[in-house]
Amino acid sequence: KLDRLKRLGLDDALLSRGPDFVGAVLELSGNKGVELVINNVGGSVFEACLQVLAYQGRLALVGFVDGVKQSVLLKSDL
């Protein structure tokens, strides 16, 4: 799958369950975060997805295949 995505123009790919997903995303983005996160994993990576969003970034929730429900306090500092 990754090879096909690279042929379509993908620049970088990271494993969301990797040892430091948030740090790796922030490093690649110059500590700015990203404009779009597509989460098709589910609740187990939901908080990390929020942490890597840039100001006014978008989070697309496509599915929750891991079955994990996650709650987030939107007023909290992420």
The closest alpha carbon to 10, from 27, 22, 23, 28, belongs to 28
- Specify the pTM: 0.72
57: pLDDT confidence band, cut at 50, 70 and 90? Answer: very high
Whole-number average pLDDT of the chain: 85
Evaluated on CA atoms 4, 54, 22, 45, the torsion sign reads: negative
The ranges assigned to domains in the chain are: 2-61
The superfamily (CATH) of domain 2-61 is NAD(P)-binding Rossmann-like Domain (3.40.50.720)
Rounded Cα distance, 36 and 52, in Å: 9
